[in-house]
Structure 1
Amino acid sequence: MGSIVSGSKPLAGVAVLLNHGQVLSVTDSLGGFYFNQLVKGRYVITIQAAGYEAYHNRVLVADTLIKLPVIALKSKINQLEEVTVVNSYATMRKRESTLLPDVVSQDYLLRNSGGSLMKSLEKLPGIKAIGIGSGNAKPLIRGLGFNQVVVVENGMKHEGQQWGADHGLEIDQYAAGRVEIVKGPAAIIHGSDAIAGVVDIQAPALPEPHTSGGAVALTGKSNNALWTVSANAFTRTQRWFVTGRVTATEYADYRVPADTVYIYSYAAALHKNRVRNTAGRELNLHVSTGWVGNNVQSVFNASRTYSRSGFFANAHGLEPRRVDAALHDASDRDIQLPSQEVVHYKLMNRTSFQFAGHRAEVQVGVQQNFRQEWNRYVNHGYMPAVYPAHMTIPSTLERQYDKTVTSLLLKDEWQWGNHTITVGGSGDYQRNSIDGWSFLIPAFTQWNAGAYLYDKWKLHPQWLVSAAVRYDYGQIRMKPYTDWFASEVVNNGDTMQQFLSRSQQALRSFSSVNWSAGISHTPGNWLFKMNVGSSFRMPIAKELGANGVNYHYFRYEKGNINLNAERSYQLDVAAGWNSSKASVTISPFLNYFPNYIFLNPTAAHDYYYGAGNQVFEYTQSRVMRYGAELQVRYDFLPHWSASLAAEYLYNRQLSGGKKGYTLPFTPPPSVLTGVTWRPAFRKGVSDTYFTLEWRVAAAQNRIVPPERTTPSYQLFDFSAGTRMLTKGQPIYVHLQVQNLFNTNYLNHTSFYRLIALPEAGRNIVLSLRVPLLWKAPAAGSN
């Protein structure tokens, strides 16, 4: 439809808006943009790009396609402002919503590559990851995680085994085109579980018509000798397109700045500072295809993510002293027992229709998460000392979970005066079966359904009001489970052998009405927002029916079948100011739970199954939470800029056995400051940067037993990168030195922090990305 340039240089990632943001497009790497689902009428086109004067023009759509000449933007300042997280698209999103989302691009993920997607996002204030080893991590938003955070990939809610801290996201970060994070309740759109917020992983933009190309990304890391190769290819005619990606990763045991770790008073020596048996490998495949018409667009996505990784051998099971250190230390790249293996399949279709001013969307999908935990058989309680030969379950299959989810989403959006009305609904059916010689949670089936109404009212170009309401209903049916071995039971003085029941059949139903309301005011360079809302979460199978040993924590966990649905009320406020040289944003929040669900340690110990481990029971209490995030940027010299990102969170339980205590995994206050130099080099080298970052994290002394306090720490990171042009071929190079001074520190949200295992030592990360364009569109074809 058109293209945008500055001089002769195409501008990528520029937001192009029609009618003040009611319709949006973003330019691709060649500066091109298009709208493929427009109805006839008059439109106002607006183009906003940092460092350039805004462009406004009126266009008339007389048929299904309009063509514009090349649009040349005029520079507003000599030097582009530094953008760490926010870009032109992000600025538009913040102005067109009563919420304040964080938006990161694919380039940001490459510049800040961690061991997983969530590790790559940890520099955002309010965002943390529960990390286990170097390849698995799950999100924490303002201290809340597990089933309180919804992860959406390509429009569909990602469903894995979210309940375990050792269960990472089965997501390929190289396949993400853009990630939007909403901090705060988002249950209106995404349903139950979105109490803490949403991590929305969006696919890359569709290829331009009549183009073919691809890209190769390479990453290497020194700490665990990691290598990653990710390659994608695409092709498109006028209407049809196909894209594909393959990502392969392999890594060794990671190193920490310590030679000994103490596991409940037992000293475990670390060979060459390596955390034994934390190596792993991944292989991920993605394919998408579809048809792009004037009024109809249909896209199919299929993916398979696979990972196999080891657990720290000394911190898994009932007896950390029974570890064959010589076997594990013989190689730092092998994967011995204990280990986990996960395969996640997804198949989905999203079809959108444009008719009579409406934009309707239908999405259907199915996904399967198949997870196995492997370990040597270790008996406890009344389990046989030797694994019986007649068992059909392999003696090394500790646990297995097989979860299949079928989902449907419907949405219709239309304009009614200055109102943008959205009506939507969703439903899914889940089936999770179990296997293995060890029991923790029962098998279950679950279904959920909900519908919502959302109104966004544009009172004025500077004023926006939103209101929404949603109804949800869900039902979970847990299946019975009986031990495969007999236990001794004393009844009226007589001792008998009995196969004990660990889980009874149970059926629970939950329903809720939730609402939200917000207002946004964006006068000039200022931004003011306020949003208030309620949300809820159904208890999961583990919270309702757990009854077994959690080998990762050396504890016995028991569910509570009588738990109520978790409810939350939250107030979010944001104020900010942005100019070409500086910006500042502060976003405080207040959150109240009348019945927060948590795992409470008791004075009891289990000897039937838990070898005397302490019993933890799921319970509920009233909880108050509040905090804030602060982001500042300042260009103090033509090529120099400084940034600051700070966060603070306070939790307190207001009732129950832990009244007065905080919540587990509560991150301490921290401040991340950075200084960036962006020099101007010779022709052919651009977008060069050198950044030094300094993180200061306070001590976390407010804990809930049996958590341990963590001391304060300071951490330095260095990064640099550039874009080189060789014979017309761009090459992007990024370098990071994480934990520059090899600091020994504890991350309060780390899985292994419970045994005082420090975080990874110094890590040098080198990333390269080479985009390839084999066939470009002919002049005037768009």
Structure 2
Amino acid sequence: MRALLLLFILLITNQLFAQNGVLKGHVTANNEPLSYASVSIKGLGKGVSTNTKGYFEIKNIPPGTYGITFTSIGYEADTVSITINNNEPVIKNVSLKEKPSKLNEVVVTGVSRATQLRSNPVPITVMSKKEIEQHVNNNIIDAIIKGVPGVSAVTTGPNISKPFIRGLGYNRVLTLYDGIRQEGQQWGDEHGIEIDQYGIGRAEVVKGPASLTYGSDALAGVINLIPYIPSGDDGKLNGDFITDYHTNNGMIGTSVGLSYKQNNWKYAFRATAKAAHDYQNKIDGFVYNTGFREFNLSGIARVDKSWGYSQIGATLYDNRQEIPDGSRDSLSRRFTKQIYEAGQDDIKNRPVVSNDELRSYAITPLHQRIQHYRVYNTNSFKTGDGSINTSLGFQQSIRREYDHPTIPEQAGLYVVLNTVNYDVRYNLPSLGGVETTAGINGMYQTNRSKAATDFPIPDYNLFDAGGFLFAKRSFGRIDISGGLRYDTRHITWNNFYVGTDAQTGFGKQVHLPDTAGASLQFPAFKHNYRGFSGSLGLTYNISDRLLLKANIARGYRAPNITEIGSNGLDPGAHIVYLGNRSFNPEFSLQEDLGFIAYLPDMDIIAEVFNNNINNYIYQAKLNDANGNPVIIVPGNSTYQYQQSKARLYGAELTLNLHPQSIKWLAFDNSISYVTGINKNQPLIDKYGEAAKYLPFIPPLHTRSALRATLPGTYGVFNKLNARIEADGYTNQNHFYALDNTETFTKGYTLFNAGLGFTIKAEKAKSSFYEFFIQGDNLFDTAYQANLNRLKYFEYYKSSPNGHTGIYNMGRNISFKVILHF
């Protein structure tokens, strides 16, 4: 009886499963397989992604008629009706059409909710993972500079790039990781962005004030780096393995990414390691102490449900970065190294660095170590026709700079920055065609010095809070959006005493009540900064391919900690910073006007801007009454922050030619220009032209690239692509020359080339290799970028070879291989 019952159950189960059907097929675009396109069944919640050959299969579909939707980024969605019969496979092949323009692309940065690019009046540029990968670089910011006109960077060697947007940087550019603001002592310019360059799947760049949705520190714009989560079939482990090598500094990069998807859950993990020795150029040879070693770990888990989604992520960044100082032998111009402490050190009489040390991957005793840890959670909850978005993140940045050659384990600078970020937004249901969002966001932050000998900033507590209201409405061809925001920042610190360690003779922090013989380096401070910001803009859709955009925005930025509180040496920068606690917040008023045309044979993007800033804060080298540099710490410059009115204006023009008659060929061109005017009239009246311009303003920048992408397969090769490009900068005659803060920078043009192709792995059906070969500065041009801090690392008034300061990287050939599996 039991056997009969078991047989009956098996027959019934088999019959039930037999009643379900199968849908499979092939998705293409331009007669090429479309990898990782999404195929979903409306009403069932079932879906898969196509494999690398464009094939898909969905099993266990109950009989019936369904709408099947095919989607892929950059292509028009297609929905077809399919009838599923009992146990009868249905085959459906679909060809997707490219979208008429990138204007239909959805962005999430600088807006209250996901918005099509075409309806946002604020200038936004998007870089895809493919575009990022095609530019082999030492860091993610350099890749963005090559792809986004108007973005530049202050650099201190190949692995340190601080982003600038339209001539504004540091705390005026807000960097986000997956929507969470990056906090890591970004006021300094001797360390880069603490983000894994191999783990980024998309970058969105807002050019212009974004204070409305992010508050202080987004006065110049926002760079949102969105992590890459590979897609694939349910229950299958997917991933990639990346290896990268650069000939100039021997940079070796290795990264492994894994992803897994099951039902409504997605998981992603990545581990990366990079190492490099000193870089080289034909003027300086190998530049001592520019090597680095970096490690990254990151993980993400996400669940999508009918109520919305929830995502949790964590990252770990650990970088040991050598600290160059530019000391040399006066005749041979070979680099020398410090072996004595500041009191006994003669910077012009040091031992010469050996060739073995210049080529060594070992990190020297004089270096900085930056550790950055992050854990965060983002959620979206559907509330009828509206939604609530929340994010909460915790970050810890540990920064140590080792500058004591006789006691290498003693940190000169040792600070720990803890930050809690929060953001809550309510997207109200549309009322009368108006989409409205109300939100509040901010952060709580503490900075503490540890066992250090130098103290450039005090131990402080900071609390930020800001509320905003944003709305948008469409009137036929016109989209209007705007809003208001109010911010407040409370910052405070107690008396900070510095004394002398009797055993080492170095400085040390001294606490009450044992302050006898100590000096009060940072008197107690408490202040509230407040400000209103807002924007109003419109987009006029002339047609599906032609747009006019106009926007006016008031930005707000509270002074950062170095601008109001610094009073000491930053060893990694070789600069003594002097702040001013009476500074007021910066307020900007920027007007943007843009014209965008995505035509069949060309893309035209023209953007002009005008930005007036009140209470603009900038660095200036400090000289005494006789015009001699003020030296507080020997071998280090002294900079004092200034505040005045300022004006920045300029434009970016992009012209990309891609004739339909020659689909495999494209010619991309861009030009960007910005001028920064110092409106400190008393200073200009006294010193004239030397004080007319703002510091750290990039010169006119042009870029032209001829690209060829060959369709089809050639033996084992497919997706063959090649490019040659010219990257040019004009002379920078407009610089802040007072007290030799900056000097004239000669223009230059670099020629680069790249080649890429794909090879399918023989044994694994879904695996394939991508190869990239890139040559930068092919003619080994000797140049100094005006935003290169190493340009000013010079201790002699003249040089036997006629060259002073340190030059940028020479010729570099790089190789990258990516295995997708």
**TM-score in same-fold range (> 0.5):** yes
What amino acid is aligned across from residue 647 of structure 1 in structure 2? S
- Structure 1 position 432 matched with structure 2 position 447: yes
The 1:739/1:107 distance shift into structure 2, 3 A limit, reads same
Deviations 1:14-34 (A, max 9, x none): 7999xxxxxxx998876799x
Give unmatched runs, 5+ long, in structure 1: 18-24, 34-41, 61-67, 260-272, 379-386, 388-393, 488-496, 773-782
* Aligned-residue offset at 1:707: 0.6
Deviations 1:674-701 (A, max 9, x none): 1122234426533211111012210001
Distance in 1, matches of 2:138 and 2:817, equals 16
* Aligned-residue offset at 1:601: 3.3
Deviations 1:360-406 (A, max 9, x none): 1111110100010001269xxxxxxxx9xxxxxx8731111100001
Distance in 2, matches of 1:377 and 1:501, equals 27
Distance in 2, matches of 1:195 and 1:359, equals 28
Counterpart pick for 2:239 among 214, 218, 223: 214
* Aligned-residue offset at 1:516: 0.4
- Structure 1 position 447 matched with structure 2 position 478: no
3-state SS of the aligned residue for 1:574? strand
What amino acid is aligned across from residue 228 of structure 1 in structure 2? G
The 1:246/1:132 distance shift into structure 2, 3 A limit, reads same
Distance in 2, matches of 1:370 and 1:168, equals 14
- TM-score normalised by L of structure 2: 0.80
The 1:467/1:44 distance shift into structure 2, 3 A limit, reads farther
Give the structure 2 partner of residue 135 of structure 1: 159
3-state SS of the aligned residue for 2:465? strand
Distance in 1, matches of 2:55 and 2:177, equals 25
Judge conservation of contact 1:278–1:335 (CA < 8 Å) in 2.
no
The 1:337/1:663 distance shift into structure 2, 3 A limit, reads farther
The 1:29/1:87 distance shift into structure 2, 3 A limit, reads farther
* Aligned-residue offset at 1:232: 1.1
Residue pairs, 1:107-126, within 5 angstroms: 107-123=130-146, 124-126=148-150
Judge conservation of contact 1:7–1:72 (CA < 8 Å) in 2.
no
* Aligned-residue offset at 1:429: 0.6
Deviations 1:536-557 (A, max 9, x none): 1111111111112345565532
Distance in 2, matches of 1:48 and 1:232, equals 22
Give the structure 2 partner of residue 547 of structure 1: 567
Deviations 1:323-360 (A, max 9, x none): 44346853532221320001100011112111211121
Distance in 1, matches of 2:769 and 2:710, equals 18
- Structure 1 position 711 matched with structure 2 position 731: no
Counterpart pick for 1:502 among 515, 521, 533: 521
Judge conservation of contact 2:436–2:470 (CA < 8 Å) in 1.
yes
Residue pairs, 1:375-454, within 5 angstroms: 375-376=403-404, 396-416=410-430, 417-435=432-450, 436-454=452-470
- Structure 1 position 650 matched with structure 2 position 675: yes
- Structure 1 position 678 matched with structure 2 position 709: yes
- Structure 1 position 304 matched with structure 2 position 329: no
- Structure 1 position 580 matched with structure 2 position 607: no
Residue pairs, 1:549-564, within 5 angstroms: 549-551=569-571, 555-564=575-584
What amino acid is aligned across from residue 209 of structure 2 in structure 1? P
Judge conservation of contact 2:160–2:190 (CA < 8 Å) in 1.
yes
Distance in 1, matches of 2:351 and 2:610, equals 50
Deviations 1:276-318 (A, max 9, x none): 1211111101112232212132111011011101112435986
Computing the radius of gyration over CA atoms, which structure comes out larger, 1 or 2? 2
Give the structure 2 partner of residue 691 of structure 1: 723
* Aligned-residue offset at 1:234: 1.5
Distance in 2, matches of 1:87 and 1:686, equals 29
Give the structure 1 partner of residue 646 of structure 2: 623
Judge conservation of contact 1:377–1:398 (CA < 8 Å) in 2.
no
Judge conservation of contact 1:103–1:179 (CA < 8 Å) in 2.
yes
* Aligned-residue offset at 1:639: 2.9
Distance in 2, matches of 1:113 and 1:55, equals 32
Judge conservation of contact 2:104–2:118 (CA < 8 Å) in 1.
no
- TM-score normalised by L of structure 1: 0.84
3-state SS of the aligned residue for 2:138? coil
Give the structure 2 partner of residue 768 of structure 1: 817
* Aligned-residue offset at 1:613: 6.5
3-state SS of the aligned residue for 1:122? helix
The 1:430/1:74 distance shift into structure 2, 3 A limit, reads closer
Give unmatched runs, 5+ long, in structure 2: 1-22, 41-46, 57-65, 83-89, 109-114, 328-336, 506-515, 685-690, 794-804
The 1:614/1:347 distance shift into structure 2, 3 A limit, reads closer
Judge conservation of contact 1:28–1:205 (CA < 8 Å) in 2.
no
Judge conservation of contact 1:658–1:704 (CA < 8 Å) in 2.
no
Distance in 2, matches of 1:289 and 1:404, equals 24
Counterpart pick for 2:633 among 585, 610, 632: 610
The 1:664/1:43 distance shift into structure 2, 3 A limit, reads farther
The 1:276/1:472 distance shift into structure 2, 3 A limit, reads same
Deviations 1:705-739 (A, max 9, x none): 32111101111000111122234332111111000
What amino acid is aligned across from residue 362 of structure 1 in structure 2? T
Give the structure 2 partner of residue 567 of structure 1: 587
What amino acid is aligned across from residue 407 of structure 1 in structure 2? N
Judge conservation of contact 1:314–1:321 (CA < 8 Å) in 2.
no
Distance in 1, matches of 2:676 and 2:736, equals 11
Distance in 1, matches of 2:39 and 2:119, equals 13
3-state SS of the aligned residue for 1:121? helix
Residue pairs, 1:46-61, within 5 angstroms: 54=76
Percent of counterpart pairs with the same letter? 24
Distance in 1, matches of 2:695 and 2:120, equals 32
Deviations 1:498-544 (A, max 9, x none): 43211101001111111101111221321211111111111111111
3-state SS of the aligned residue for 1:325? coil
The 1:75/1:425 distance shift into structure 2, 3 A limit, reads closer
Distance in 1, matches of 2:365 and 2:572, equals 14
Counterpart pick for 1:238 among 248, 263, 266: 263
Judge conservation of contact 1:560–1:618 (CA < 8 Å) in 2.
yes
The 1:313/1:654 distance shift into structure 2, 3 A limit, reads closer
* Aligned-residue offset at 1:600: 3.0
Counterpart pick for 2:95 among 55, 73, 79: 73
More off after superposition, 310-319 vs 449-458: 310-319
Give the structure 1 partner of residue 34 of structure 2: 11
